[in-house]
Amino acid sequence: MPNKDPLHIWPMAKGFVIPFIPLIFGILYAVNAGPGAGLGVFVFALFSTPLIAIGLLVYEVFNDQRSMMYGTIAAILLMMLVISGDL
């Protein structure tokens, strides 16, 4: 069954949440590590989040998962707003 229907909420939610998983794990590790010990992991997770989102977006385009692609695009736009300081 192709994913050409206008909007599916669950795949869109997965596309929005999946890119933020490394960042969440990085924050949890940095909070639970000793002072200064988790900074490297947090910075790595912070910079890997947009790369994972772009990789996921390429996967969704090639596999024709349209509604999941919309969620990932929304996540990328949110990251751009946060990085630019507008949010």
Confidence of residue 14 (pLDDT cuts 50, 70, 90): confident
**What are the sequence ranges of the domains in the chain?**
9-84
pLDDT in tens, 18-75: 888 888 888 888 888 877 778 888 888 888 888 888 888 888 888 888 878 888 888 8
DSSP string covering 26-87: HHHHHHHS-TTTSHHHHHHHHHHHHHHHHHHHHHHHHTTBHHHHHHHHHHHHHHHHHHHT--
Give yes or no for a contact between 22 and 47, defined as CB atoms under 8 angstroms apart.
no
**Site of tokens 């507008």:** 86
Give yes or no for a contact between 56 and 18, defined as CB atoms under 8 angstroms apart.
yes
